[in-house]
Structure 1
Amino acid sequence: MEENKFDYKQFIGFALIALIAVFWFNTTKPTEEEAAAEAEKAKTEQVNSQTTVANKVAEQEATLDLTDSTQVANYKNKLGAFGYNADKVSAEEVTTLENQLLSLKISNKGGQIVEAQVKGQMVKGNFEPLVTYDSLPVYLVKDGNASFGLNLTTADNRVINTKDLAFEPTFTENGDSKVLSMKLKVAPNKFLEYRYEMKDDYMIDFTVRSQGLNGVINGSQPINMEWKLKSFRHAKSVTYENRYTDLHYEYDEGKDSYLGQGTDEEKINDVTWLGYKQHFFSSILLTDQAFKTATISTENIVDSEMPEKDVEFLKNFSTTVPLELQGGELNYTMDLYHGPTDYDVLTAYDRNLDEIVPLGWGIFGWINRYFLIPLFGLLSAMLPAGIAIIVMTILVRLLLSPITYKSYLSQAKMKVIRPEINEINQKYKDDAMKKQQETMKLYSKAGVSPMAGCIPALMQIPVFYALFMFFPSAFELRQKSFLWAEDLSSYDTIVQLPFNIPVYGDHISLFPILASVAIFFYMRMTTGQQMAAQQPAQEGMPDMSKMMKYMMYFSPLMMLFFFNNYASGLSLYYFVSNLITIGIMLVIKNYIIDEDKIHAQIEENKKKPKKQNRFQRKMQEMMEQAEAQKKANTNRK
C-alpha cells in the first residue's frame, strides 16, 4: 500500500482557488447604494403586486351579485377575515356631515369621503356662498375624482384595499360636534375605524385606528395609506388656475416645499402635512404623528390643444404613506381640511398652513405678510375690492415717493453736469484712463454719484415683486367685481375672439391695455430724463440710449401680452400705479426741482475742499498707479 505524502502542488492549487473565490466575492458584492436600490425595487414590486391583487378583488366586487349565495361565499373567502360584511358591499349608503361652511358625504364603501362641497365663507360676520366661475357649487371631491384607502396584507397573506370594502356607519351628535364612525369589522368587536368629527369649521378631526386586529394584519408587510385626487377646474382661465395648482407639504419639523408644475414624483421624510392646492381651494391632510416617509406625485392633465370651455380637470395628485403598527394596532390622529386657500383662514390654525399661499420668499414674503395683507384687509373691510386696490396703490406710491424723488434728483444732477462730462470725453478721447480719472474727479467735486439714480430704483423692486405675488393669491379678490371686470381675481373681457392667439389668448382685456398705455408714457418720461443725463456711448460699448428707446416700446408690449390672462386686479394696480407715478414726477419736475438751483449748488460744491472717503482714496491711488505704469511703459518704448 502506497503511503500518502504531502502534495505541495495540490495545496497551492487549493490556495489559489480560495484566493480567487475571495476576490470574486468581494468584487461582485453590491455596494450599499446598490443594495439599497435593490431593496427599494423589491419593495416597489411587492407593493405593485399587492395593488394588482387588490384591483382583482375590486373587479370581482363590482360584478358581485348579492342574490347569488355562491358568489358571495367565494367573495368572502377571497377577503378572509375582512369578508365579515362583504354581503353589504354593494348596498352603498352615504352619510352627510354638514355645517354652515362645509358639506361632506361619506360612503360606507371604503368609509371614505365621496363628496366635499365648500359651501361658503364668513365675511364681516356674514355668510357668503361660494360658487365657481360659471355659478355652480364648489366641489373638491365629487363623482369619483378622489379615493382614500389602506392597502394591506392579512395574516394569511390575503391582499386587500379598504376603499373597496363595506364599513358600518354610526352617527352621533353632541352640541355643535357631529361624529361619524365608519368601522370595517372582522368580528363584532374587532375592526378598522375611520372616525370623522366635524364642528363649525373647514377642518375636521380624522382618526385611523384599529381594535383587535393584532394577528389579523400581517405587520411584516407594508400597510400603505393611499390618497388620490383629480383636481376640478373652478376658474375662468384654465392656464392661470393651473399655474397656481400644485402639491405642497411640510417636512422635517417645519420646513415646507412643493412639487413643480409639470409631472413630478418625490419621496420625502418626516411629513407633518400634505396639501393638494387648487389655486383658491385646498384639500389638506395633517397628522399629529409625523409620517416617516411619503411618496408624492403630481401629473398635469391639461391638454393645451383642448378648448378651455371643455377642460374639467387640471392635475392628478397622489400620495402613498407607509403606516406603522403600534402593538399590532393602527392609531393615527389626523385632520382633514377642505376649504379656501385664504391666508387669514389658514394662518388661524397655527399649523404653518399659510405656506400654501405663494407670497414669495425672503423679504418679498415679509412685505406681504406684515404690510400688504394687513393693509388690504383693513381697506377691503371698509371699501369695495376695486376701490381698496386703488387706495392701497395710492398709499404705496406715496410711501415710495421719497425714493422716486431721490432718483429724479440724481438724474437732474447728472443732466446738469453732462456738458462738462462731454468736454472731458472730447479732451481725453484717446486716453481712456485719464478720461475716467477726470470724470471721477468731477463727480467728487460736484457731489454727484451716477449710482444714486439706480439705488432708489432697486429699492422699489421688493415692493413691486411682493405686489406681483399678492394679487394672484388674494382670496378676497375672488369674484369681486369692479367697473367692467366681473372678477378681479381673473381676467376681464371686453371682446371675446373667435380664435386663439398664442400667448395672448382668445379674448381682449381692457385693464392690461390701460396699464400698457400708462407704462408707455411713464417710460417715455423717465427714458427722456435718463437719456439727457446719460454719458455718450464710448467706443466698443453699447449705446444705452438706443437700448432705452427699445425698452420704451418693448415693456408696454410685454405688459399687454403677458397680463392679458392675469388677474384684472393686478392690471388695475399697475395702471393706477403708473398714473400716480407720472403725476408725482410731473410735480417733482415742475414744482420741486429747479435745475438752475441745482447747477448753482454744484458750482458751490466744486469750490469746497472735498474730503474723500477711504474707498475713493483707494480708487484714486489705483488709477494714479495705473497711469504712472502706463507712462513708464510708453517711455521704455
Structure 2
Amino acid sequence: MEEKKKFDFNTIIGFGLIFIIIMWMMYNNRNTELKEQQEKAKKEKIEKQQQQKQVAVKQVAAVIKDSTVNDTMKLQKLKGTLGSFAYSATLPSAKEEVTTLENEFIRLKIANKGGYIVEAILKNYERFEKKSGQLVELIKDNNSSFNLQLQTKDNRVLNTKDLFFEPTLTKVGVNQVLSMKLKAGANEFLEFKYVLAPNQYLVDFDLRSQGLNTVLNTAKPIDLQWDLKTYRNEKSISYENRYAEIYFEHEDGKIDYVGQGTDKEENPEKTTYIAYKQHFFTSILLTKTPFATAKLYSNNLVNDEKKDTLFTKQYKATLPLAFTNGELDYKMNWYYGPTDYKTLKKYDRNIEKIVPLGWGIFGWINKFIFIPLFGFLSSFMGLGIAIIVFTILIKIAMSPITFKSFLSQAKMKVLRPEIMEIGEKFQKDPMKKQQETMKLYNKAGVNPMAGCIPALIQIPFMYASFQFFPSAFELRQKGFLWADDLSSFDAVYSWETHIPIISSIYGNHISLFPILAAIAIFFYMKMTSGDQVMAQPQQEGMPDMAKIMKIMIYVSPVMMLLFFNSYGSGLSLYNFISNLITIGIMLVIKKYFINSDKIHAQIQENKTKPKTESKFQKKMREMMEQAEEQKKLQQKKKK
C-alpha cells in the first residue's frame, strides 16, 4: 500500500531560513562592495584634489619666478588660481625668505611663505648632547606648520601656508614688531602681527583681516590648523615621551589633556589655550577670544627607542575662527620656552597648570612646600646638595609623626602576650575575643590605629615627591657625583645588545642611585618588619602578616630597581637619602626614646585608672553587644 505524501513543514522552514541567510549574505556583500567603492572613490577624490593643489602651487611658483613676465601679465595668470590673492603673489616679497625676531631668550624666524614661524630656538638651553653645543630647537626643518584654510566667495579653497605674505619689521619702544600681510589689494589683507619684548618667551600674536568681507565667505568660520612634530631634547627618549602630551584650558579655567598613546583625540569646547607639552619644553597658542570648538590629535612616534630617535610626538589642532562683522580679529599669544613652573606662573595666564604636580593635597604640597623650599635651597647651593638638604628638612619635619608611629608599635608589642592570651581563651568565640581585646586596649590606653595614622599622613608627601622631581626643570642637565643629569637616569654601565624581557622592563643600562635606594629600602624593611609583625596579633581568617612582610622585604627593593632604573636620578637620590634618614631616625628613637620596660609599666598603671569611653568606643561596644545578642538568638532558634 502506497504511503500518503505529507508536507514536511520543518523542511520547508529550513529551506526558507537558508534562502533568507543566502539573500542576507548577498545583500551584505553587495553593501560591503559599495562601501569599499565609495571609500576608494572618496580617497581618489582627495588625492586628486591634493595633486591639483600641488600643481596649482607649482604653477604659481613658476609664474612668480618667471622674470620675463611683467607684473600685469603675472597678475592675470595668477588670478585663475589665486583669485584676489594673486595680488600678493606679484609683490617683491613673494620670495622664500625669512625675517628674524630675537631677544635674550629666543630666536624666531618667520617665513614670507605662509607668514608663520618656521624656526624657534631657545638660546639658553642645549639638547642632551651637551658637547655638541646644539641649542634646543622647538621648530626647524618643517616640523611645524600653521595654516588658515580660506573659503572665497568664488568657491576657491586657499591655504595661507602656500601663499606669500609681505613683511614689515619695525621697533616700537623696546619691542620688535613684525607685520606679515597676505594682500588681496592695496588695502585688503590678512595680517599676522608678532610683537616680541625683551627677556620674554611669550610673543604677542594678533590675527586680523581688513576689507576681506568682499573676498572671503564669512558665513561660517575658517579653520586654523596648527601641527607640530616634537623633537627629542633629552637623554632618555622614552622617559621624555612619558611626560609629553597636549594640554588645553577651558573658558572656566579648568585644565584637561588629550592623553598619551596612539591616535588620541579630544574635541573640547570654549578653549583658551592649546599647549603642545614636551617634558621640559612647551609650545603654546593662547587666545583672548575662546575657540568655540577644537579638534585635538596626539600620536606617539616612539615605538622602538633604538630606531625612533628623532621625534617624540605628533600633535595636531584644528580650531575654528569666527568672523565678527565680516572680519577676523583675534588677540593671541605664542609661548616657546621651558616647562618650568615658576617661569610659566609669572605670565599669569594659568599656563603653569600644564606642569603635572598632582591633584588635590599632592598638588598643594608641591606648590606650597616643595617648590618654594627647593627653590630657596637651589638658589645658593648645588642641585645634588640641595636635594640632600631638602630631604633632611622634610624628614626632620616628619620625625614627630615617625616617633608616634614607632611608639604605637612598641605599645602594641608590649600588649601582644595579653592579646594572644585573650585569643587562646576565646578561640571558639571570635566576637567575645574582639570585645575583650577592645577592653584591653581601652584599659591600657592604647589605640591600635595610632600606628597606621602617622604612616597615612606621610603617604601624600611621598606621592608628591613622585610628581615633583620629574617636573623640576632646575634638575635638567645638572650633575651630581657620577650622575651627569639629575633629570635623567644615572647609568654607570650600559650595553647595546637587546636582551628580551630584560631590555623592555629594566632597560639597557644600570643606574646606581636606584640600587642604593633599593638597598636602603631592604634594610629599613628588615629592621621594621619584625616589630610590625610582633605588634599586630594574627587574626583568625586573616592572611599571615609574617609571611606577607617577609615577601615584601624582597619584593620592594626589586620593584625599586625595575621601575626607577630609567627614572630621573634626582628622584632616586631623594628616595635613597629619605630611607637612609628614616633608618637613622628609627635607630635614634629606639635607643634613646623608647624603653619597653617603661612602656609596660605605664600600660599597667593605665589599667588601674578609671576609663571613660569615648563616643566612638561606646558605639563600637554597643554594636558588638548587639551582634552578640543576635548570634545568641539565632542559636536558640536553631535548637
Q: TM-score range by the shorter chain?
A: 0.7 to 0.9
Secondary structure of the corresponding residue to residue 359 of structure 1: coil
Secondary structure of the corresponding residue to residue 84 of structure 1: helix
Structure 2 vs 1, CA of residues 226 and 175 (structure 1 numbering), >3 Å: closer, same or farther?
Answer: same
Per the alignment, residue 447 of structure 2 pairs with: 449
Q: Is the 8 A contact 2:220 2:322 kept in 1?
A: no
Per the alignment, residue 95 of structure 2 pairs with: 91
Per the alignment, residue 138 of structure 1 pairs with: 136
Per the alignment, residue 542 of structure 1 pairs with: 543
Distance in 1, matches of 2:48 and 2:391, equals: 58
Structure 2 vs 1, CA of residues 422 and 525 (structure 1 numbering), >3 Å: closer, same or farther?
Answer: same
Q: Is the 8 A contact 2:123 2:135 kept in 1?
A: yes
Per the alignment, residue 570 of structure 1 pairs with: 571
Per mean C-alpha deviation after superposition, the further-off stretch among 467-476 and 499-508 is: 499-508
Q: Is the 8 A contact 2:127 2:234 kept in 1?
A: no
Distance in 2, matches of 1:55 and 1:270, equals: 35
Paired AA for residue 206 in structure 2: T
Structural mapping, 1:13-162, within 5 Å: 53=49, 56-62=52-58, 64-65=61-62, 66-67=65-66, 74-87=77-90, 91-120=95-124, 129-134=125-130, 135-162=133-160
Q: Does residue 488 of structure 1 match 2:486?
A: yes
Per the alignment, residue 6 of structure 2 pairs with: none
**TM-score scaled to structure 2, two decimals?**
0.88
Q: After superposition, what is the alpha-carbon deviation per residue over 1:393-448, rounded to whole angstroms, capped at 9, x for unaligned?
A: 00000000011001000000000000001111111111111111111111111111
Per mean C-alpha deviation after superposition, the further-off stretch among 522-531 and 497-506 is: 497-506
Distance in 2, matches of 1:631 and 1:342, equals: 66
Secondary structure of the corresponding residue to residue 491 of structure 2: coil
Per mean C-alpha deviation after superposition, the further-off stretch among 613-622 and 266-275 is: 613-622
Q: After superposition, what is the alpha-carbon deviation per residue over 1:206-240, rounded to whole angstroms, capped at 9, x for unaligned?
A: 01111111110011244111111011100111111
Secondary structure of the corresponding residue to residue 85 of structure 1: helix
Distance in 2, matches of 1:90 and 1:51, equals: 27
Residues matched between the structures, number: 581
Overall identity of the aligned pairs, in %: 56
Deviation at 1:531, TM superposition (A): 1.2
Q: Does residue 295 of structure 1 match 2:295?
A: yes
Deviation at 1:90, TM superposition (A): 6.8
Q: Is the 8 A contact 1:131 1:138 kept in 2?
A: yes
Deviation at 1:179, TM superposition (A): 0.8
Distance in 2, matches of 1:625 and 1:174, equals: 83
Paired AA for residue 333 in structure 1: K
Q: Is the 8 A contact 2:405 2:450 kept in 1?
A: yes
Per the alignment, residue 251 of structure 1 pairs with: 250
Per the alignment, residue 623 of structure 1 pairs with: 624
Structural mapping, 1:158-557, within 5 Å: 158-200=156-198, 201-262=200-261, 263-304=263-304, 306-307=305-306, 310-500=308-498, 501-538=503-540, 540-557=541-558
**TM-score scaled to structure 1, two decimals?**
0.88
Paired AA for residue 116 in structure 2: Q
Paired AA for residue 158 in structure 1: R
Q: Is the 8 A contact 2:151 2:222 kept in 1?
A: yes
Secondary structure of the corresponding residue to residue 400 of structure 2: helix
Q: Is the 8 A contact 1:152 1:222 kept in 2?
A: no
Per the alignment, residue 601 of structure 1 pairs with: 602
Secondary structure of the corresponding residue to residue 115 of structure 2: coil
Distance in 2, matches of 1:236 and 1:76, equals: 51
Q: After superposition, what is the alpha-carbon deviation per residue over 1:27-56, rounded to whole angstroms, capped at 9, x for unaligned?
A: xxxxxxxxxxxxxxxxxx99x999985773
Per the alignment, residue 588 of structure 2 pairs with: 587
Paired AA for residue 509 in structure 1: S
Distance in 2, matches of 1:49 and 1:362, equals: 51
Deviation at 1:291, TM superposition (A): 1.4
Q: Is the 8 A contact 2:506 2:563 kept in 1?
A: yes
Structure 2 vs 1, CA of residues 632 and 336 (structure 1 numbering), >3 Å: closer, same or farther?
Answer: closer
Paired AA for residue 370 in structure 2: L
Secondary structure of the corresponding residue to residue 350 of structure 1: coil
Structure 2 vs 1, CA of residues 185 and 448 (structure 1 numbering), >3 Å: closer, same or farther?
Answer: same
Distance in 1, matches of 2:77 and 2:353, equals: 50
Per the alignment, residue 24 of structure 1 pairs with: none
Structure 2 vs 1, CA of residues 270 and 55 (structure 1 numbering), >3 Å: closer, same or farther?
Answer: farther
Deviation at 1:76, TM superposition (A): 3.6
Distance in 1, matches of 2:442 and 2:48, equals: 79
Paired AA for residue 240 in structure 1: Y
Q: After superposition, what is the alpha-carbon deviation per residue over 1:558-601, rounded to whole angstroms, capped at 9, x for unaligned?
A: 00010001000000000000000000000000111111000000
Q: Is the 8 A contact 1:76 1:86 kept in 2?
A: no
Distance in 2, matches of 1:336 and 1:54, equals: 30
Structure 2 vs 1, CA of residues 632 and 334 (structure 1 numbering), >3 Å: closer, same or farther?
Answer: closer
Deviation at 1:146, TM superposition (A): 0.3
Distance in 1, matches of 2:243 and 2:300, equals: 12
Secondary structure of the corresponding residue to residue 181 of structure 1: strand
Per the alignment, residue 17 of structure 2 pairs with: none
Secondary structure of the corresponding residue to residue 110 of structure 1: coil
Secondary structure of the corresponding residue to residue 220 of structure 1: coil
Unaligned runs of 5+ residues in structure 1 are 1-44, 121-128
Deviation at 1:521, TM superposition (A): 0.6
Q: Is the 8 A contact 2:75 2:87 kept in 1?
A: no
Q: Is the 8 A contact 2:295 2:319 kept in 1?
A: yes
Secondary structure of the corresponding residue to residue 471 of structure 1: helix
Q: Is the 8 A contact 2:74 2:90 kept in 1?
A: no
Q: Is the 8 A contact 2:271 2:292 kept in 1?
A: yes
Per the alignment, residue 561 of structure 2 pairs with: 560
Paired AA for residue 208 in structure 2: R
Superposed CA RMSD: 2.1
Per the alignment, residue 615 of structure 2 pairs with: 614
Per the alignment, residue 23 of structure 1 pairs with: none
Per mean C-alpha deviation after superposition, the further-off stretch among 483-492 and 500-509 is: 500-509
Deviation at 1:515, TM superposition (A): 0.4
Q: After superposition, what is the alpha-carbon deviation per residue over 1:314-372, rounded to whole angstroms, capped at 9, x for unaligned?
A: 11111111111112111111111000011111000001011010000111111111110
Unaligned runs of 5+ residues in structure 2 are 1-40
Per the alignment, residue 7 of structure 1 pairs with: none
Q: After superposition, what is the alpha-carbon deviation per residue over 1:231-256, rounded to whole angstroms, capped at 9, x for unaligned?
A: 11001111110010000111132111
Per mean C-alpha deviation after superposition, the further-off stretch among 48-57 and 89-98 is: 48-57
Q: Is the 8 A contact 1:151 1:159 kept in 2?
A: yes
Per the alignment, residue 8 of structure 1 pairs with: none
Q: Is the 8 A contact 2:275 2:282 kept in 1?
A: yes
Q: Is the 8 A contact 1:57 1:78 kept in 2?
A: no
Distance in 2, matches of 1:633 and 1:359, equals: 55
Secondary structure of the corresponding residue to residue 214 of structure 1: helix
Distance in 1, matches of 2:597 and 2:178, equals: 81
